[in-house]
Structure formats: C-alpha cells, structure tokens
Amino acid sequence: MRLWYLYGIFLYTFSLSGWADVSDAREALSKSDEDATQEKSLEEVFEATENSYSLMKKGQTSMSYSMSYSYTADQRLNIEFSGNSVRAFDVTPSATHNLTNNFSFDFGYLNNLTLGLSVPLVTKYDTADSLSGAGIGDVSVNARWQPYAYVPGELSRTVTGSFKTKTGGSPFRTIAGKNLPIGSGYYSLSGGMSVNKVVDPVMLFGSTSLSYAIPEKDVNQVRSGQLLEEVHPGVSVAMSGGFAYSLSYDVSLSMSFQGSFSDKSKYIFRNGGVAETAATMSGVMNFSLGIRVSPTTITNVGVGFGLTEDSPDIMLSLSMPISLNGLKAKFEPASS
C-alpha cells in the first residue's frame, strides 16, 4: 500500500515538472527516518511490554499505569489428633483476590541510566475468612543502566537494580483475624540483568535477578502463644524469558515465562525457639496482546496462568503510558 502511494506521488511530481531529476525521484521513493519499520515496531512493542528493558534520554520523564489482578484458590486442612486417632477433620476452602494498581515514574538521569519510582495501591480480599486489606503497598525505587550503546540487530544488555521499602501493611504488625497485610514487612534489595535481541520478525528477551531481604528485628508479635522477635526471609532467585511478535504495525503478541525460587525463611522467638518454612518455587506463563491506540501509545492486555502450587491460579493485567504533556503545560510558568 505504501509503495503504491509513493509511486502515485512520483507520477504526480513527474507530470508537473516534466523533466524531473532522477535523484529527486530516488529521494522521494527512499525510506525516511519517520517511516515505520518492522524492527522499530518490535522495539516499541517490546518497550511497552517489558518496561525494564527501555531506557530514556537524559532529562526525559514518563509515567505509566498498570493494573494486575490475581486469584489464588486453595484447600486448608485442619486436623486435630487425640493420641493416635483423629479427633477432628475439617476442609476449609480458601480463595484470595488481589488487585494492584501501580503507578510508575521514570526519569532519564543519563542517556544510559534511568531512575524510577513505583507506587502500588493494593486491595486484597479473602472469601474464606471474609477479611480484606487496602492501601499503599511497598514502594520501590529502581535503576536501569545500559553499559553499552544500543546497536540495531545486536544483543542489548541492561543492568537492573531496585530497593523495595516496607510501606505496605506488614504481616508482622497486622492483627490476625482482623485484616489482611498488603506488604512484605521488610526491606529488600535486588539486582540483575536483562537482555534482548531482534531476530526478524521476532524480538527475544530474557532476564535474571537475585533478591536479598534485610532481616526484620524487634517484631514483638504473638504467634501461637509465643512472642516472635526476628524474621529472616530467604534469598530469592528469579528468571524470565519470552518473545514479542509484531503481527502488524498496530497489533502485537508476546509470550513469556516467569519462574522464581525462594529459600526457606527463619522465625526466631523470644523463648529461643526457631521455626523454618519450606522453600517455595513459582512458575507463571504469560500471554499479552498489544494494541496501538495512537501513534505513540501502546496498550497491553495480558493473561497469566500459574504452573506450580505456590503460584496464583490466574492473573489478568492491563498497562498503558500516561502522558505528562498536559501536566507540564499546566505547571510551567507563562512566558512574558
């Protein structure tokens, strides 16, 4: 379609000028910097789908919104023994709904260094115990650094790091049976690396990261009749990989796998008792559809399925950028 369009322009120009120079015609038919290419479309789709891989120019700012919903169903077994016989046996269904509205702010500190702030608004509801919790979750500060300049067609590497706070409601401060915690309850640090490469007509991407949780002390929470003093969360390792495929300039499809392993956590009580949890492993398969709603805006709608017992059963997501041009115009002083 574009070729016929340019061909018509060429014929129209030639009919007006009569003896148009051949170089002028060649220039008219050549591809300009503003023209859309499949590789450029893939990069835009990828940046909209995986924000951790995109870097901004120095001084630029951006804001994005994402919504995620997860549903986790389980069966709780309550067994009470009397000697060698079972005195009571009860199966209680559990279903937890988790809705997170996340606002991300990014700032290009350097051309190869982007700083960001993520503020989640979390709402939880447990249908089994009719408990709920809502408020600001754990705010995190992150950084993305690209050590080498991006070369089209070559493997791109991005170093990532983040610091997560404990601003959300802590499970070590929440009264059991009253409400649900919406935060982790401890600070954590994480670092990793992300890579991506365009293999026409697909963009491949992958990442790996390591998280260390800072032990939480002076908890002073009563659990099972004992006073909990310290919590030592386990180290977590996560990795992901997938691809993004541009079906057209306006529609794209991406698929990825996310897996994580968390080592056992340790709980220390005042009476000297120590309790440990089992290590957990989580795996999720994600599918995302990207739709271009404007020349510069791509909205992503995704669905995910848990593959292990420690993963949510189903997840839904929505993400889109938020334009800051109106805010800039509103707060910039009027020129005299």
What average pLDDT is seen over the chain?
Answer: 78
State whether 145 and 106 are in the same domain: yes
Tell me, what DSSP letter sits at residue 32?
P
Residue 336 is assigned to a structural domain of this protein: no
State whether 27 and 45 are in the same domain: no
| Burial tier of 169 (Cβ tally within 10 Å: 0-12, 13-18, 19+) | buried
Q: Return the axis-axis angle of helices 22-29 and 2-17, rounded to nearest 10°.
A: 160
Total domains in the chain come to 2
Give the residue, 37 or 294, on which the prediction is more confident. 294
State whether 162 and 25 are in the same domain: no
Residue 143 is assigned to a structural domain of this protein: yes
Give the residue, 212 or 5, on which the prediction is more confident. 212
The residues that bridge with 190 in the sheet, in sequence order, are 162, 211
pLDDT band at 75 (very low <50, low <70, confident <90, very high): low
Query: In which domain, by residue range, is 17 found?
Result: 1-35
pTM: 0.75
CATH number for 173: 2.40.128.130
pLDDT value at residue 322: 81
State whether 63 and 147 are in the same domain: yes
pLDDT value at residue 178: 78
Range in 8-17, 53-62, 119-128 with the lowest mean pLDDT: 8-17
State whether 28 and 46 are in the same domain: no
State whether 2 and 45 are in the same domain: no
Residue 238 is assigned to a structural domain of this protein: yes
Q: Determine contact, residues 311/282, Cβ cutoff 8 Å.
A: yes
Taking the C-alpha atoms of residue 49 and residue 297, their distance in angstroms, rounded to an integer, is 12
Residue 163 is assigned to a structural domain of this protein: yes
State whether 22 and 47 are in the same domain: no
pLDDT value at residue 239: 95
State whether 22 and 161 are in the same domain: no
Give the residue, 124 or 55, on which the prediction is more confident. 124
Query: Is 14 in a helix, a strand, or coil?
Result: helix
b or e along 92-112 (b: 16 or more beta carbons within 10 Å of the residue's beta carbon)? eeeebebbbebebebebeeeb
Residue 171 is assigned to a structural domain of this protein: yes
Provide the percentage of residues in the chain whose pLDDT is more than 70. 72
State whether 22 and 118 are in the same domain: no
Of these ranges, 86-90, 111-115, 266-270, 274-278, the one predicted with the greatest mean pLDDT is 111-115
Q: State residue 234 phi and psi, 5-degree precision.
A: -80, 160
pLDDT tens digit sequence for 282-336 = 999 999 999 988 887 889 999 999 998 888 899 999 998 886 654 444 444 444 4
State whether 4 and 129 are in the same domain: no
State whether 203 and 107 are in the same domain: yes
Residue 69 is assigned to a structural domain of this protein: yes
State whether 66 and 163 are in the same domain: yes
Pair of tokens at residue 200: 């026409």
